[in-house]
Amino acid sequence: MRNLLAILLMLATVQSVLAQGVVNIYSARHYDTDDKLYEQFEKETGIKVQIIEGSSDALLERLAREGKRSPADVFITVDAARLHKAVAQGVFQSVKSTTLEKNVPANLRHPQGLWFGLTKRARIIFVSRDRVKEGEITSYEDLAKPELKGKVLIRSSSNVYNQSLVGSIIESHGDAAAEKWCKAIVGNMARQPQGGDRDQIKAVAAGEGDVAVANSYYFARMLKGTDEEREAASKVRAVFPNQDGRGSHVNISGAGVVATAPNKENAIKLLEFLVSKEAQNIFAAGNNEYPVVKGTPTVQVLKDLGEFKADVLNPAVIGENTPKAIRMMDRVGWR
């Protein structure tokens, strides 16, 4: 009798899944809050969410191996360079959705609807409170000033966040000026690039340099982190660059429907859910990022940094410039 009940229960579960369907996510984001959102989506729609997590490159390799047999419906990754790599690999299909087009600003989605921004992060400048005066550094271009020789801390050229930043410089100033800027950055480095974004901020706090470049969410993590991290964060000041011009460089995490998605309609429903105001508040807060949907509250730790003007350059353009940026950084010796 027990076996019969177990079989009936299993059949009921299978029938429920078949009725509502599933959506398979390949995600390069790894946050508990994301999982909670997927659980909420399941409750609201009855669509079962199945997730495979990994690095962006590993997931792209998997998609290439699986080809048309891939079960993936949605691919989620971080940074314009990685989204561009997915586009170049033919991972996405074009999607038309009134909800997505209404909720996600045009500059934060692919022009052909191949991917849509989910969260934003600003790559900004952090300066020593003691050694850098207010207003002394106000732009990315200022990082190339000769007086900053031996004072700039920044990650390696292999870091996609820096590749995208240089991609934005290329678009703003052209190839020659961008390469000149990269060369000046190398000349102004306080040390050979090492560590992550938080390491650059900590190095400023420790006096190894006066200026660092890092993503806003890393600083937010430090403000809410260990005693050591909070102390280091208290010794630097956040500067949103280029407020009198194009605005601060902004990058995104984004997602698109996989070209061979077996559950396309469910995939679109998931993306629409992730850009609802209710979901956006949780999704962005999970990694201390800025929401993409206007009117969605910003987490307090970022709100405390102040309002800022963001560069409206589409990440699709930045991504297209990435290969050129990598070659450029290599030529000037940015390791």
Which tokens go with 111? 């022009």
User: How much is the pLDDT for 211?
Assistant: 98
What does the pLDDT read at residue 15?
A: 41
Q: If we measure between CA atoms, which residue out of 204, 273, 241, 243 comes closest to residue 23?
A: 273
The superfamily CATH assigns to domain 2-120+251-303 is: Periplasmic binding protein-like II (3.40.190.10)
Looking at residue 193, its pLDDT comes to 97
What local confidence, expressed as pLDDT, does residue 19 receive?
42
Contact 311, 248 (CB under 8 A): yes
Do 2-120+251-303 and 122-249+314-331 have matching folds?
yes
Written as one letter, the residue type at 216 is: S
% of the chain residues with pLDDT over 70: 94
Which pLDDT tens digit goes with each residue over 10-41? 444 444 444 469 999 999 998 888 899 999 99
Q: Return d(Cα 141, Cα 138) in angstroms, integer.
A: 8
What gap in Å lies between CA 58 and CA 94, rounded to an integer?
A: 23
| Residue 19, beta-bridge partner list | none
pLDDT(3) > 60: no
Superfamily name and number for 122-249+314-331: Periplasmic binding protein-like II (3.40.190.10)
Classify burial at 177, counting beta carbons within 10 Å of its beta carbon; exposed 0-12, middle 13-18, buried 19 or more.
middle
Give the confidence band of 281 by pLDDT, cuts at 50, 70, 90.
confident
- Per residue in 169-197, pLDDT tens? 999 999 999 999 999 999 999 999 999 99
Q: Does 314 score more than 80 pLDDT?
A: yes
Q: What is the pLDDT of residue 4?
A: 46
Percent of the chain scoring above 90 in pLDDT? 89
- Break the chain into its structural domains and give their ranges: 2-120+251-303, 122-249+314-331
Question: How far apart (Å, rounded) are the C-alpha atoms in residues 310 and 298?
Answer: 15
Q: What is the pLDDT of residue 32?
A: 82
Burial of residue 247, with CB atoms counted within 10 A of its CB: 0-12 exposed, 13-18 middle, 19 or more buried: middle
What mean pLDDT is predicted for residues 83-87?
97
| Mean of per-residue pLDDT scores for the chain | 93
Classify 260 as helix, strand or coil.
Answer: coil
Q: What's the pLDDT at 6?
A: 45
Q: How far is CA 147 from CA 137, 182, 187, in A?
A: 11, 16, 11
- The model's pLDDT over 49-77, given as tens digits with 9 standing for 90+, comes to 999 999 999 999 999 999 999 999 999 99
109 has which bridge partners?
116
pLDDT per residue over 239-262, tens digit each? Answer: 999 999 999 999 999 999 999 999
Tokens 């206007």 belong to: 294
Task: Tell me what the mean pLDDT of segment 202-219 comes to.
Answer: 98
The per-residue b/e assignment along 221-233, b for 16 or more CB within 10 angstroms, e otherwise, is bbbeeeeebeebb
Q: Residue 17 has what pLDDT?
A: 42
Q: Which residues contact 313 (CB under 8 A, 6 or more apart)?
A: 107, 168, 171, 172, 246
